[in-house]
Structure 1
Amino acid sequence: MPTPDAILIGYTVLIVVVSFINLIPLDYWWIRIWDFPHLQLTVLAAAGLVAWGWFGNHYFNDWLVLVPIGLLATLCYQSWLIYPFTALAKKQVVRRTNSAPSDPDNTIRLLVSNVFQYNREYDKVLSLINQYEPDVVMLLETNQRWKNDMQSIESRYPHQVLHPLENTYGLLLYSKLPMTHHELRHLIQDDIPSVYIQFKLPSGIPIHFYGVHPMPPSPTEHYRSTERDAELVLVGREARKQSEPVIVAGDLNDVAWSHTTRLFQRISGLFDPRIGRGLFNTFHAKYPPLRWPLDHVFVSCHFQLQRIKRLPSVGSDHFPMFIELTYVPDAERPHIEKPQPEGNDLDEAQETVEEAK
């Protein structure tokens, strides 16, 4: 067999295996980790097709035809996963039109940033807060030193839930909006906190906010994804029961196109403002070829989008995310069918929670 063909066969087998291994319904980290690099695998599959066209011996009546078929199938699958996050897809969250009157009393601006606990460039975080003036700031991976570094904003953000930890799962939340209720929760793991807060907009409209940062499946964190998946299921089930506006935000340690995140959307009935707009890759900030959307904001049908933006680096391995949303009363917004559970979604969700607990 000619050397180029042998190389292409080995390359194709590798790309096909790592592209489809995530379809195996097992939660081990060495399987679930392949949920992440689908954008990179799309590029690699396309490169393989080009290489086959350039170097391969094109015997279409030979078993070597499986090379382009495998690469093409991979490219189609990866493109199907990524397509919703392109401008070609229909937007899930409608952008508020320029002709609509400004409604600051019904608008919330949110900045979410995994700052990386060992990062010392806190001045960059403060600079972004000063520049964008969010109503709510949620900082993840924050320890006591980060809490001390952020003291200068406490007077401007009098409503706070501060839970610094030294295990890279600390959480600091600052708000200009009053909190009518707040809870620090440990839904699945005793050392992994999340928050549930009821904010009140200046108009008096309540907002149910869930801030989350579950543990990822990885060789250095957890051998399986079940605990992460279960936390998202619990938040999603609770969010769906709310009749008032809902926002779920944080570092989900999962990508936007994974089975778990799509299950979360169907369970929660929430919308992803990135769909139809872009990937907004937030991790890894320091390695451009290895980036995927790890930090998320999901919203209920009550909101229209003013702005969504990935912000500049703050020295962390994550980029911060900024989003500005406006609550629109029922009578003023078009009816949008929210995501619904499919097939065995509810059974799968219940089994995941039971296994995690």
Structure 2
Amino acid sequence: MSNTCAPASPPPPLARRAAPPVSRDSSSTPLARVIWRLSGLNLALVCGVMVLLFVVSERWWIGSAITFLPRLPWGLPAVVLGLAGWWCHRPSLWVNAVALGLVLGPIMELRVPGLLQAPGTVPPAPGRDTLRVVSCNVQAYRPHFAEVLSEVARYRPDVVMLQEAFGDHPLLDEFLPDWHRLHHNTYWIASRYPLRLLAECQSEVFERVAGIVVELQTPVGPVVVANIHQMTARRGLVEINKSTLLRGEAARLADEFRQWREIEAAEIRAVVDAHRGERPLIVAGDFNTPTSSHVFQQVWGDLQSAFDVAGCGYGYTAPCRPIRFWLTNVPWARIDHILCSSEFGIVRCQVGRGNGSDHRVVAAELRR
């Protein structure tokens, strides 16, 4: 018998290790990293815009330009980057949500105190302690003055103030015929209560009448009312163009005009204070500046702004006319205001929706 051994069987081959799975995390792609960095830069830009608006304000010509330009476009990068982040980098959604919230909130000057009151609510009948004030820059009665007056009447006012009421208009004679009325220069006031002219506000720097001051004899005592129209900032901003930038004169020209506007505002306030005495005060009209501007704050900041206290939403009042690269009848600036002294409480403030003028109607109910 043979004792030869059978050859040993070869060892089984080593099991192949499974290859590690390929990462499908899109947040590590070059595009995702770009979106993340751009989102951070955009948030920093939005914060910088807030500083320019509320700290620098009109003290620098770039701050002036941002103050009066539409503010909604500052939110567009956050929307675009947010949509891109949803596709390839979800963490960037939060950054863009914060940036968009800052634009829609503080940058666009959203006001929320009146949110509890439904829009379009019919105001209560006027009482002895309330005073309804309505103001509008009627832009020389163009384009649809009848529409303006119709909207004014819907607020059932006690006092109506119009600016840029150049000359006579047949509808003015028919509007509120039994009221006490005064038409001085380009300012028109009508009141349920007796009124008398106290002074006109002369602007020496612009050589024009910038407002009038009257006294109303209301059931709760005399009230001083000023109907004003400050100079537009647009005339200074148009000096910022390619030619002046190349010559290095843009900043000087814009700053010079801003200083003239400050002087005029101080002149108006000096006349108002000189004739007010100890009586309650209401100031209304076209201020041609938002309440966030330092030009407004340093002259009128001690008074209550009716929309800031009791308004709802953005309350933009101008411009309503066709503007290049912007929607018609979609204003972007709140430059028309109703202000009052601390003797008044502000019940509500509303901005009209009609487009009978380049400026929207502003209405406030005040209570003593």
Give 2:23's aligned residue.
none
Match of 1:210 among 226, 244, 264: 226
- Pairwise mapping of residues 50-199 of structure 1 onto structure 2 (< 5 A)? 50-51=82-83, 53-54=85-86, 76=102, 79-80=105-106, 85-87=111-113, 104-117=127-140, 119-144=142-167, 147-153=169-175, 155-163=177-185, 170-187=186-203, 188-199=205-216
Give 2:243's aligned residue.
none
Q: Provide, for residues 213-268 of structure 1, a one-character-per-residue CA deviation record: whole Å limited to 9, x for no partner.
A: 111212459943333333334455655975321111111111133333333444x3
CA distance in 2, matches of 1:293, 1:284: 9
- Rg comparison, structure with higher value: 2
Give 2:244's aligned residue.
none
Q: Displacement, 1:277?
A: 3.4
Give 1:225's aligned residue.
258
Q: Does the 8 A contact of 1:86 with 1:275 survive in 2?
A: no
Give 1:297's aligned residue.
338
Tell me the TM-score normalized by structure 1: 0.67
Match of 1:193, SS?
A: strand
Give 2:320's aligned residue.
285
Q: Does the 8 A contact of 1:15 with 1:44 survive in 2?
A: no
- Do structure 1's residue 324 and structure 2's residue 365 form an aligned pair? yes
Give 2:15's aligned residue.
none
Q: Displacement, 1:107?
A: 2.9
CA distance in 1, matches of 2:56, 2:154: 45
Q: Which moved more, 1:16-25 or 1:298-307?
A: 16-25
Q: Displacement, 1:73?
A: 6.8
Identity of paired residues, percent?
Answer: 19
CA distance in 1, matches of 2:297, 2:104: 15
Give 1:270's aligned residue.
304
Q: Provide, for residues 294-329 of structure 1, a one-character-per-residue CA deviation record: whole Å limited to 9, x for no partner.
A: 2111111222334432223142121111222222xx
CA distance in 1, matches of 2:96, 2:303: 35
Q: In structure 2, give the amino acid aligned to 1:193.
A: A
Tell me the TM-score normalized by structure 2: 0.65
Task: Structure 2 unaligned segments of length 5 or more: list them.
Answer: 1-29, 116-122, 240-252, 322-327
Q: In structure 1, give the amino acid aligned to 2:166.
A: N
Q: In structure 1, give the amino acid aligned to 2:174.
A: S
Q: Does the 8 A contact of 2:228 with 2:284 survive in 1?
A: yes
Q: Does the 8 A contact of 2:135 with 2:162 survive in 1?
A: yes
- Pairwise mapping of residues 234-249 of structure 1 onto structure 2 (< 5 A)? 234-236=267-269, 239=273, 242-249=277-284
CA distance in 1, matches of 2:163, 2:145: 13
CA distance in 1, matches of 2:114, 2:174: 43
CA distance in 1, matches of 2:100, 2:85: 16
Q: In structure 2, give the amino acid aligned to 1:132.
A: Y
Q: Displacement, 1:177?
A: 2.0
Give 1:331's aligned residue.
none
Q: Provide, for residues 132-188 of structure 1, a one-character-per-residue CA deviation record: whole Å limited to 9, x for no partner.
A: 3422221222222x544412236323330331xxxxxx3222233212442222234
CA distance in 1, matches of 2:209, 2:35: 48
Aligned positions, number: 303
CA distance in 2, matches of 1:25, 1:41: 19
Give 1:254's aligned residue.
289
Distance 1:217 1:83, change over 3 A: closer
Q: Provide, for residues 14-53 of structure 1, a one-character-per-residue CA deviation record: whole Å limited to 9, x for no partner.
A: 7666554445465566541311457515633642552463
CA distance in 1, matches of 2:140, 2:131: 27
